[in-house]
Structure 1
Amino acid sequence: MKLTAFVPFLLCTLLSAGPLSNKELNWYFVQHGQSISAPKEASQFIDKYNVYYVGDQSKKQIFLTFDEGYENGYTAKILDVLKENKVPAAFFVVKPYIKQNPDLIKRMEAEGHLVCNHSSTHPSMASVTDPTKFNKEFDDVNEEYKKLVGKDIPKFFRPPMGKFSESSLQKTQEKGYKTVFWSFAYRDWLVDNQPTHIFAKNKILGKAHSGEIMLLHAVSKTNTEILDDIIKELKNQGYEFKSLNDLP
């Protein structure tokens, strides 16, 4: 192709590509037996942006994660159970949680858990299109964590409410973070409408799968009370609990 023809061709190609979409999407996963896949709306681009929602599906490993929007009095007990069972976990925290619970953050870090970024103000990251505001959602959390423990926060990010866009995933990657969704979650965050122990155990154990990234909410009284039983039963089934640092 002659250069005079190539230049408008290249320009046309770039224009047709356009900016990445800011369309807000909601995370969910598709499970076919033991196989987990991403939502169809994101399947064409999600693998480009350091996104994790499941680990190695050929290994009986579980990655235990907790979201911490606020403290409901249960995290210390959760940490006790994790310590007793020698299980690592990741706690995704917002900036106010760090400020209001410094002793818990220090304990998480001291006991080998990952304290990870869940944004400063818990917005839909797809809605934060201003670059300065987007960066601030990450940086404010990191600064608060670094002020407390003396080092940068681990570079794992969970989008609040599971809301994202292709653009937000790219910008998250550009900041050096891995996006961590999940391959299991259930309705455990309603503090005034907690599931029964039997329901929760059946749900969690019945959906266990290789490479699982398990999302639990630490505000849940039920989760706290059944956690020891859940961990022991999953270990009995041959599952090993791993750190997000061990993701492939």
Structure 2
Amino acid sequence: MRTPKVLFLGFALAVLAGCGTAVADENGPVWIGAAPPSEPAPSVSSPSAKPKRTPVGVPLKTTPVRAKPTATTTPTKVKHKAHTGPSESLMKTGDTGVALTFDDGPDPAQTPRMLDLLKKNHVKATFCVVGENAQAFPDLIKRIVDEGHTLCNHTWRHSLTLGKKKPATIKADLQRTNDAIHAAVPDAPIKYMRAPGGNFTDRFVTVASELGMKSIYWQVDPRDWEHPATETDGAHKAKIIHSVKKHVGKGAIVLSHDYAQPDTIEAYEELLPWLKGRYKLVALPR
């Protein structure tokens, strides 16, 4: 008989409508009737768990990166022991003598003027030379050595970030500079290295030491490279003179530049006699 079957089917449908059931769909189960059960949070180990993504437009929290210094910025300040520079580089001569150091040359226009001035005043100094310039002007390297001055490696291209590179990169740069110097003067002693901008790092100092060079910083920096467009040449010269006279003392290493700094040459025309009258001026030992 068909009547009981119809009644039974009607009863079954009523039960299903109350409880809810799932019908397969290509996008997942579609629930009919009662609300679906709460979806459990995916387990960390579950293959279907999706990694959290950073919302678009929300920056990641990272350690701030220092801006790369330029030729007109102050070198990064690094904590160091008293009486030494960054990474324990030397900032004093070790005795009462004052050492004048000139960076970034040789310069075909200004270095000869500085050498003439030093010769006139019977003063020896230290020249921290850039490898590219040493290669371009070997005769000036020879003159520096012949006149009794000391040479210092100032890297190949004055890279302000070289100290952060891999040791092998630092070594190749310093060696290339030494090779350029020795191409001009084969037996020239090179016992010192100065990091461009004073940006020494421990690895920089270590590599230089492995090549037989001490790292030299400075105690006096008249910032002769800093010449604002609004500052006259006379004012710039006066600033250099005032700064050196104010800050120099026994044993100081003084930083200046012979590259592209005509006002520096003129400042030392006054400074050399003044310094000689008060201190023993020395080149760093060769």
Same fold (TM > 0.5): yes
Q: CA distance change for structure 1 residues 78 and 136 in 2, over 3 Å: closer, same or farther?
A: same
Q: CA distance change for structure 1 residues 146 and 233 in 2, over 3 Å: closer, same or farther?
A: same
Could you say what secondary structure the match of 1:91 adopts? strand
The question of 1:77 aligning with 2:113 is answered: yes
Please name the residue that 2:182 is paired with: 146
Unaligned 5+ residue runs, structure 2? 1-65, 70-74
RMSD: 2.8
* Structure 1 residue identity aligned to 2:170: F
Number of aligned residue pairs: 208
Shift of 1:205: 1.1
Please name the residue that 2:264 is paired with: 223
Aligned partner of 1:201 among 241, 247, 250: 241
Aligned partner of 1:127 among 164, 175, 183: 164
* Counterparts of 1:180 and 1:151, CA distance in 2: 22
What are the equivalent positions in structure 2 for 1:9-158 lying under 5 Å apart?
26=75, 41-43=79-81, 51-56=89-94, 59=96, 61-69=97-105, 71=107, 73-123=109-159, 124-129=161-166, 131-158=167-194
Shift of 1:126: 2.2
Shift of 1:228: 2.2
Unaligned 5+ residue runs, structure 1? 1-22, 29-38
* Structure 2 residue identity aligned to 1:173: S
Shift of 1:116: 1.6
Determine if contact 1:52/1:181 at 8 Å carries over to the other structure: yes
* Structure 1 residue identity aligned to 2:165: V
Determine if contact 2:126/2:149 at 8 Å carries over to the other structure: yes
The share of aligned pairs that are identical, in percent, is 25
Could you say what secondary structure the match of 2:115 adopts? helix
What stretches of structure 1 move > 6 A for 4+ residues in a row?
Answer: 46-50
* Counterparts of 2:116 and 2:106, CA distance in 1: 19
Q: Which moved more, 1:115-124 or 1:85-94?
A: 115-124
Q: CA distance change for structure 1 residues 204 and 99 in 2, over 3 Å: closer, same or farther?
A: same
Could you say what secondary structure the match of 2:222 adopts? coil
Q: Which moved more, 1:169-178 or 1:202-211?
A: 169-178
The question of 1:214 aligning with 2:250 is answered: no
Note the alpha carbon deviations across 1:162-191, whole angstroms, 9 max, x for none: 112222222222222100100011221146
Q: CA distance change for structure 1 residues 56 and 83 in 2, over 3 Å: closer, same or farther?
A: same
* Counterparts of 1:224 and 1:79, CA distance in 2: 10
Could you say what secondary structure the match of 2:190 adopts? coil
* Counterparts of 1:48 and 1:71, CA distance in 2: 28
* Counterparts of 1:47 and 1:203, CA distance in 2: 19
Work out which of the two has the higher radius of gyration on C-alpha atoms and give 1 or 2: 2
Q: CA distance change for structure 1 residues 215 and 109 in 2, over 3 Å: closer, same or farther?
A: same
* Counterparts of 1:188 and 1:115, CA distance in 2: 20
